Amino acid sequence: MRHLMSPLDFSVEELDELLDLAQDIEAHPDKYAHACDGKKLATLFYEPSTRTRLSHEAAMLNLGGSVMGFASSDSSSASKGESVADTIRVISCYADICAMRHPKEGAPMVAAEHATIPVINAGDGGHEHPTQTLTDLLTIRNLKGRLNNMTIGLCGDLKFGRTVHSLINALVRYTGIRFVLISPEELRLPEYVRNDVLDRNNIPYDEVVRLEDALPDLDVLYMTRVQKERFFNEEDYVRMKDFYILDHTKMKLAPDDMYVLHPLPRVNEISVEVDKDPRAAYFRQAQYGVYVRMALILTLLDIRVD
């Protein structure tokens, strides 16, 4: 049985296959409409979500399966003090696969250890968010036609942004990748990612504070929200939240073929005027998230469609 805790749980070849499958699903959705007939997905969300929960559910429904779950810990027995280990043992009796989001780093790993069904990490604290990474990889591959030889700008809250940590983990396995890390001093990429992932793999990167300085050189700009819920005090959040605002004027500094990605939700970091720019790819990215999660569910349930 397989789980998805980190993008590294798949080899590069397996990832390529998964992205190929997602592309085939996009092209021929009817072929997959009954692939999961009779199967159930449980979504166990102990932390807020719109896209991740609903795109997992949409993915299972598109495959002919059904969905159940909870959208906050208040409405689950966690509020009575039940452990993740006990909850997952029980959910394993009800569902064929589950997606779990939890504010505590490592909680989905604990679930995977006690589960008899595949567990998908749908975001654990400030740690990882592998299904967002699958979405990001599919988006980049579809828009740029490749996943290698690229300069990727990561901008915003690189400290708490789990989507950034997972995306870096995944991209360092491709050749010719260079990062520009764009953040205020206080929200720099954690040292463990810089040392254990970037330095260990000899990945070139620059750290800059000004977005304007980075823009002219980028193939992809990955914007992120300042992660309010991970701050210890409101004052620091308020000081940081509008540090970056990508607008029409800044977009003039960027190459014509530089796409803007964002895992969403957006707060103020991308002005709505950028939405009309053909390089704004964040809503397309959300659509790719459904195809890639369909491919993931099929892969983890080991269901093949000819």
Catalytic residues: 51-52, 80, 101, 129
- Using CB under 6 A as the binding rule, the residues of this chain from 193 to 252 that contact ligand NCD are 224-225
Region from 113-121, 200-208, 244-252, 261-269 binding ligand NCD, contact rule CB under 6 A: 261-269
For Cα atoms 165, 167, 68, give the angle at the middle one, nearest 5 degrees: 90
Q: Which two tokens stand for residue 164?
A: 């950034």
Residue 72 Cβ vs ligand NCD, minimum distance, rounded to whole Å: 14
Residue 224 Cβ vs ligand NCD, minimum distance, rounded to whole Å: 6
For Cα atoms 144, 289, 93, give the angle at the middle one, nearest 5 degrees: 145
SS3 at position 92: helix
- # of chain residues touching ligand NCD (CB under 6 A): 12
158 binds ligand NCD (CB under 6 A): no
Task: Rank residues 110 and 226 by Cβ distance to ligand NCD and give the closer one.
Answer: 226
Tell me how far apart the 2 most distant CA atoms of the chain are, in Å: 55
* Residue from the set 15, 40, 45, 52 that interacts with ligand NCD by CB under 6 A: 52
123/49 Cα distance (integer angstroms): 10
Residue 147 Cβ vs ligand NCD, minimum distance, rounded to whole Å: 20
User: Percentages helix, strand, coil for the chain, rounded to the nearest 5?
Assistant: 45, 15, 35
* CB contact at 8 A, 288 and 142: yes
Task: Rank residues 3 and 129 by Cβ distance to ligand NCD and give the closer one.
Answer: 129
264 binds ligand NCD (CB under 6 A): yes
- H or E stretch covering 151: strand 150-155
Q: Which amino acid is at 148?
A: N
72/76 Cα distance (integer angstroms): 7
* Residue from the set 39, 102, 159, 162 that interacts with ligand NCD by CB under 6 A: 162
* Residue from the set 132, 133, 151, 299 that interacts with ligand NCD by CB under 6 A: 132
Positions touching ligand NCD (CB under 6 A) are 51-52, 123, 129, 132, 162-163, 224-225, 263-265
